[in-house]
Amino acid sequence: MSELDNFDVVIGLEIHAELKTKTKVFCSCKNEFGALPNTNTCPVCTGMPGALPVLNRHAVCLAIKAGLCFGCEISPYSVFERKNYFYPDLSKAYQISQLVYPLCIGGGVTLDNGKKVRLNRIHLEEDAGKLTHISHAGGTLVDYNRGGTPLIEMVTEPDISSAEEAVEFLRRVREALVFEDIANCKMEEGGMRCDVNLSLRPKGTTTFGTRTEMKNLNSFKSVERAINFEARRQAEVISNGGVIVQETRKWDDDRGESFAMRSKEQAQDYRYFPDPDLLPIEVTKEDVSNIKDEMVELPADRRTRYVEEFGLPQYDANILTSTKYISTYFEKCVEFYNAPKKISNWIMVDLLKLVKEQEEIVFPLSEQHLAQIVKMVEEKVINKTVGLQLLDEVIKTHKSPEVLAKEMNLLVTISDEQIIELLNKLKNENAKVAADYKVAPDKVTGFIMGYVMKNTGGKANSAKVRELISKVF
Amino acid sequence: MDFSKLSLIEIRDGIANGKFTSEEVVRFFIAKCEEKKSLNAVIEIFYDAVDRAKEIDNKIKNHEKVGVLAGVPIAIKDNILYKGKKMGCASKFLQNFVASYTSTVVEKLLSEDAVILGRTNMDEFAMGSSCENTCYGVCHNAIDPDYVAGGSSGGSAAAVAAGLVPCALGTDTGGSIRQPASLNGVVGLKPTYGTVSRYGIVAFASSLDQASPICKTVEDCQLVLKVIAGKDIHDSTTIDNKLISVHKSKYTLGICRQVMQEAKSTQGGEEFYKLIQKLGDIFDIVQVDIPHIQNSLACYYIIAPAEATSNLARFDGVKYTVRSENAKDLESVYVQSRSEGFGREVKRRIMLGNYVLSSGYFDAYYNKAKRVQKLIKREFTEAFSHCDCILMPTTAGTTFKIGEKLADPIAMYKEDLFTVPANIVGVPAISVPYAKIGKFPLGAQLYADDLNEDVMFEVAKIVEKVGGVK
C-alpha cells in the first residue's frame, strides 16, 4: 500500500491549442509552422513602436466553435486584456489575452465513466515567439514567427481525479478540436500544450490542499507520467509531516521527474488591464447560430448515433469516429449501401490496415467503390475472398468494382442447368427434404440453399437459386 | 519673400497659383531651421524634402492633379514614424532607431502632396509640460529663449511660432499640443478621440493619445485635420468622423462654473474674464456645471501612467533600444538598460503605472479612475446639451522660466489642469491665442461635444478674430 491510497487526487488542467487560421490573430502575417526564423513577421508581431493590433475575426469564430464543442456559453461581450511581463520571446512585453471577460464561459466534457469535467472558460490569446539557446555561443536567438499566432486557452475546474481521466479528457478535447478543423493539436509541434494543477486531500474530505502547477507537458504520455509522479511526491511529503509549497514545477520528461521553478512568492504580478488598442468583442446570437451552422456533428454525438441508429457496437463507433475523415467516409459508404455493420467491418478490418503507416489517413478507394464491393459480397455475387481480390484491384486501377469483376471473371458463373442438376440430385438422394418442402417450404429453403452454395463454392446467385428451388421442388 | 509670415493655406495657394514654388518655400524654411537651431525646436531637418518639393513643383508645372497640401512643408513630432527616418521620442534609449514603416498620419500627409520637413523636439515619450525632459536639450520658447516652450509637443509649437515651418504635427494625451500652443501663441488642436489614426505613433496612453496639427490659424488646423482624419484598418479605435462644416447664425458658449472657480485666482484669470465679456456680444453665454471636472487630473495621472507602463515595456534593451554595456544576463539587460535608457520623468510615470496596476491596488486606483472617467463624461454630455462649445483657459498663465518647475512635478502636472478633461472624456478641443501678458501669449480653449469639430472650428475662428493675436 502506498501513501497515495490515503488521498484523493484533485487535478485541474489548462490547455493551450493553436488555432488553424491562415493569418495571425492581430496582424496579417502567415500563421504557419516551420518557416525560416523571423520571416513571418511585421511591425505588429515584432512589437515595433507605434504598431497596433487588429483582431482577426476568423480566430474569434474558431474560438467560438471550440466553445460550442464543449457546451460553453458564448459571451456576447468579451474583453482583451494585457498580461504584462518581461521575456525576450514576448515582443511587446505583454501578451494580449483575456481575463475578466472571456469569450466562452462554462461547459464541459463527460467522460466514459459518466463523470463531467467542467470547464471554467475558454479564452482567446496570442502565442509568444520561440527562443533558441545557443550554448556554445553563450547566447539566445529569438524567432517571432510564432509570436502573435492565435491560441485558445481552456481552463477546467478541479474535477479530474486521475492521470487516466486527465488523458481521456485531453483525448476528447483534441478529437473535437481536430474534428471541427479548429486546431491541428500536433503536440510535437507545440500545437497543443497542457499545464497540470494538482493537489491532494485526505480521502473523504472536501477542502482543497495546496496545489502545484506543472508546465512543459508536451505529450499525453508526459501528462500521465507527470501526474503520477507529482501525486506520489505530494503524498510522500505530506505523509512525512511536510507541507506542499504552492509553486510552479517543470516536468523533465527524460528524467521522469519534475522540479521546482518558482514559488508563489516569486510569482509574477501580471498587472492585467483592458487593452486600450482593441475594442471589446461583441458576438450576437445570430453570429453564434451562423457559426453553429458551419459545424459538423461532433464525434461524441456521432458515436451515440452509430450505436443507437446503426446498431453498431461501441467499439466500432469509437474507431469510426476517431477522425472526421473516417467518420465521413463511413457515412458516405452507408449512403451508397445501407449495411452499416458490414461497411464498418470492412473499414475496420480491411481498410485501416492498409493505411496504418499514414500520418493523415486517406483511404485508397472511393466510398462508392467500397460500398459496391461490400454489396456484391453481401448479395453473394462474389464471396469474401474474391471481394478482397477485387478490393486490391480497384485500389490499383481505380476502375469500378462491377466492371472489374466482369473483366476478371470473378462473377458467379454457375449456370441454371448446373443448379437444376444439383437440386435434382438432392431431391433424389434426400426424400425427406422433398416431402418437408411440400408441407413447409420456408423451413427447408435455407437448407437447400446451403447445399447448393456448398457445392458451387458460393458462386451461385442466391436469388436465382431460390427461384429454381421452387421450380424443382 | 518671407514665408514665415504666411499661413499654411496662403503658402498652399501661392504654390498652386504659381506665385512661388514648393522648392523656394522648402529651402526658405530649411534655412530658417538652420538659422534658429539654438531654439532646439526642429531637431532634424530632412534635407531630401527639397527633392520632394521639386517633384511636386513638376507635377504642378505639368498640370497633374495634386493634393490639397501640395508642396507645403510640415514637421512631425519625434514620436511619429516615417520610414527610413530616425525616430527617437527624445529619448537616448532610442537614439539609433530608424523607422521601418510609415505612420498613417504621415502617409495621409504625403498622399496630399505635403513635404515632411523634419522632426521636432518633445518631452521624452511625450511625458512633460515644458519640453525640458529631452535628450536633445531643452526646447526654448519662441518668444523668449529663457522660457519654456511647453510640452510635450514643445518643439512643434515653438517651430510654428518661430516661423520655422507653417505646420507641425504634435500629439496630445493630456494637453501636449494645446498647452505649448498656448505658451507660444499658436493654434493647437486635439480632435475627438479616434478621429486620427494612432498607427505608427509611439503610444503614451493609448486610450487618450491623438495626433493633430499645430498651425498659425484655426483654418489651417481644420484643413490639416481633414487630411489626417479617417478610419484606419490599422487602428481599431479609429472612427469615421465626417468633419462636416456647419454654420449657425448664433452659437451658445458655455462657461463652466467649476473651471471659473479655478481660473479666477490664476495669472491669466483677469484676461480670461475680459475675453468672456468681449464674447458676450457675439455669443449667447450660459453657465454650465461639470461638478467633477477637477477630478480629471487625478484620473489622468492614474490611467495615463497605467497604459504608459505597459506601452513602454517593449523598450527593454532586447530589440531596438540601446542595451546597457553593463548587462550581464537577461535580468540586467532589462534592469540596466531601462535604468540607463529612460529619463527621470519617464521612470516616475512607469513606477506610478505599475503601482496602480499591481494586484491589491488595481480596483482602488485603476478601476475607480475608470468609473470617475465615466461620471465626468456624463457630466460633459449633460453640459453640451445646453451649449455648442465650452470656453475655458488653456493654461493657468503664460510660459514659465526654464528650470522653474522641474523640481516640482506636481506644479508641472497642474499645467494640464484645463487641458486634461478633453482627453479624459475624448471630446475635441482647440487652443487659440487671445491675449498677451507682457510679451507672452495666452491661449483660450474651446471644447465641443464628440464629433462636433465643425462647430468648434467656427466658434474658434471668431475667438481668434476677437482675440486679435497672431
Q: Looking at the predicted structure, is the pLDDT value of residue B241 above 70? A: yes
Beta strands A104-105 and A116-126 are antiparallel
* Residue A278 in this model has a pLDDT that exceeds 60: yes
Lookup: cell for A47: 512589437
Interface test with chain B among A79, A101, A273, A278, by most B beta carbons within 10 Å: A273
Q: Does any domain span residue B396?
A: no
Sort residue A266 into left (φ over 0), alpha (ψ -120 to 50) or beta.
Answer: alpha
Give the CA diameter of chain A. 101
Cβ of A93 and B313 within 8 Å?
yes
The shortest CB-CB distance from B237 to any of A84, A91, A279 is to A279
Chain B residues close to A50, C-beta within 8 Å: 79-81, 103, 198-203
Q: For each of the domains in chain A, give its residue range(s) and CATH number, in order of start.
A: 3-287 (no CATH), 296-403 (no CATH), 416-472 (1.10.10)
Instruction: Determine the pLDDT at residue A139.
Output: 85
Q: Can you give the residue range of the structural domain that contains B212?
A: 3-228
B154 within some domain: yes
Residue of B199, B207, B318 lying closest to A50 (CB–CB): B199
From the candidates B22, B91, B103, B152, which is the catalytic residue? B152
Cell of A165: 481521466
Quick: pLDDT tens for A116-147: 999 999 999 999 999 999 888 778 999 999 99
Q: Which percentage of chain B shows pLDDT scores above 70?
A: 100
pLDDT of res. A424: 86
pLDDT at A451: 85
Q: Which residues of A touch B200 (CB under 8 A)?
A: 50-51
B292/A contact by beta carbon, under 8 A? no
Residue A412's pLDDT is 63
Among candidates B80, B307, B318 on the partner chain, residue whose Cβ is nearest the Cβ of A276:
B307
Lowest mean pLDDT among A98-107, A464-473, B90-99, B450-459: A464-473
Q: Which of A47, A50, A53 sits opposite B103 (nearest CB)?
A: A50
* A-to-B residue pairs, Cβ atoms closer than 8 angstroms: 93
* Rounded Cα gap, residues B93 and B99, in angstroms: 14
Share of chain B above pLDDT 90, in %: 94
Share of chain A above pLDDT 70, in %: 99
DSSP B366: I
Catalytic residue among B32, B77, B85, B108: B77
In sequence order, what are the residues at sequence separation of 6 or more whose Cβ sits closer than 8 angstroms to the Cβ of residue A367? A329, A332, A333, A335, A336
Q: Find chain A residues with C-beta within 8 A of B233's C-beta.
A: 54
Report the range of poorest mean pLDDT among A324-333, A436-445, B93-102, B261-270.
A436-445
Mean pLDDT of the B19-46 span = 98
Distance CA B269, CA B210 (A): 28
Chain-chain contact of A88 with B100 (C-beta, under 8 angstroms):
no
Q: In the prediction, which pLDDT does A84 show?
A: 97
pLDDT single digits (tens) B415-429: 899 999 999 999 999
CB of A260 less than 8 A from some CB of B: no
Catalytic-residue membership of B152: yes
Is-contact A341 A333, C-beta < 8 A?
A: no
Q: Is A407 left (phi over 0), alpha (psi -120 to 50) or beta?
A: alpha
For residue B272, name the pLDDT band (cuts at 50, 70, 90).
very high
Answer whether residue B366 shows pLDDT above 60: yes
Asked if residue B316 is part of any domain, the answer here is no
Nearest chain B alpha carbon to A90: B314
Inter-residue contact B296 to B308 (CB < 8 Å)? no
Q: How many CB atoms lie within 10 A of CB B5?
A: 10
| Bridge partner list, B102 | none
Confidence of residue A19 (pLDDT cuts 50, 70, 90): very high
B357 touches chain A (CB under 8 A): yes
Q: Which of B91, B130, B176, B212 is catalytic?
A: B176
In three-state secondary structure terms, A470 is helix
Distance from CA of A139 to the nearest CA of B (A): 10
Q: Is residue B311 part of a domain?
A: no
Q: Is the pLDDT of residue B262 over 60?
A: yes
Look at residue B290 in the predicted model and tell me its pLDDT.
98
Partners of residue A54 in chain B, C-beta under 8 Å: 233-236
* pLDDT the model gives residue A122: 98
The dihedral over CA atoms of B366, B368, B373, B375, expressed in degrees to the nearest 10, equals 170
Pairing of strands A150-156, A139-143: unpaired
- Element (H or E) spanning A310, and its range? none
Decide: B76 and B108 in contact? Cβ < 8 Å: no
pLDDT band with cut points at 50, 70 and 90 for residue B271:
very high
Q: In the predicted model, what is the mean pLDDT of residues B128-143?
A: 97
The arithmetic mean of pLDDT across residues B211-238, rounded, is 98
Q: In B112-244, which residue ranges form alpha helices assigned H by DSSP? A: 154-161, 178-184, 218-228
Average model confidence (pLDDT) across chain B: 96
Residue B334, pLDDT score: 96
**Residues 220-249 in B contacting A (C-alpha not used; CB under 8 Å):** 233-237
A350 to chain B, any CB pair closer than 8 A? The answer is no
| Residue of A168, A171, A191, A190 whose CA lies nearest to A179 | A171
Give me the number of domains chain B comprises.
1
A35/B99 Cα distance (integer angstroms)? 25
| Confidence label for A457 from pLDDT (cuts 50, 70 and 90) | low
Note whether residue B452 is domain-resident. Answer: no
CB contact under 8 A, B310 and A50: no
Helices and strands in chain A, H and E counts: 15, 17
Residue A471, pLDDT above cutoff 90:
no
- Cβ atoms of A9 and A229 closer than 8 Å: no
Q: Give the one of B198, B307, B318 whose C-beta lies nearest to A88's C-beta.
A: B318
Q: Residue A274's closest chain B neighbor by CA?
A: B307
CA nearest neighbour of B356 among B368, B340, B342: B368
For the question of residue B77 being annotated catalytic, the response is yes
| Contact call for residues A199 and A208 (beta carbons, < 8 A) | yes
Report pLDDT for B470.
56
Whether the Cβ atoms of residue B291 and residue B257 lie closer than 8 Å to each other = no
A131 touches chain B (CB under 8 A): no
- The answer to whether residue B321 sits within a structural domain is no
| pLDDT over 60 at A1, yes or no | no
The amino acid occupying position A11 is: I
Q: What is the pLDDT of residue A472?
A: 80
Dihedral of the alpha carbons of B353, B356, B357, B363, in degrees to the nearest 10: -150
| A51 interaction partners in chain B (CB closer than 8 Å) | 101, 199-200
More confident: A105 or A190: A105
d(CA B83, CA A279): 28
- Residues A417-431: b if buried by 16+ CB within 10 A, e if exposed: eebeebbeebeeeee
**Is B176 known to be catalytic?**
yes
CB proximity B336 to A under 8 Å:
no
Residues A148-205 have pLDDT tens digits of: 999 999 999 999 999 999 999 999 999 999 999 999 999 888 899 999 999 999 998 9
List B256's β-bridge partners, or say none. Answer: B288
Q: Identify whether B443 is part of a domain.
A: no
Q: What is the ipTM of this complex?
A: 0.96
Q: Is A50 on the interface with B (CB under 8 A)?
A: yes
Least confident of B53-62, B249-258, B412-421: B412-421
CATH number of the domain bearing residue B76: 3.90.1300.10
SS3 B246: coil
Q: What is the mean pLDDT of chain A?
A: 92
Instruction: Categorise residue A271: left if φ over 0, alpha if ψ from -120 to 50, beta otherwise.
Output: left
Taking 80 as the threshold, does the pLDDT of residue A415 lie above it? no
Is B97 contained in some domain? yes
Question: Distance, in angstroms, between B18 CA and closest chain A CA?
Answer: 38
Best of B314, B334, B338 to substitute, by most chain A Cβ atoms within 10 angstroms, is B314
> In this complex, is the C-beta atom of B389 within 8 Å of any C-beta atom belonging to chain A?
no
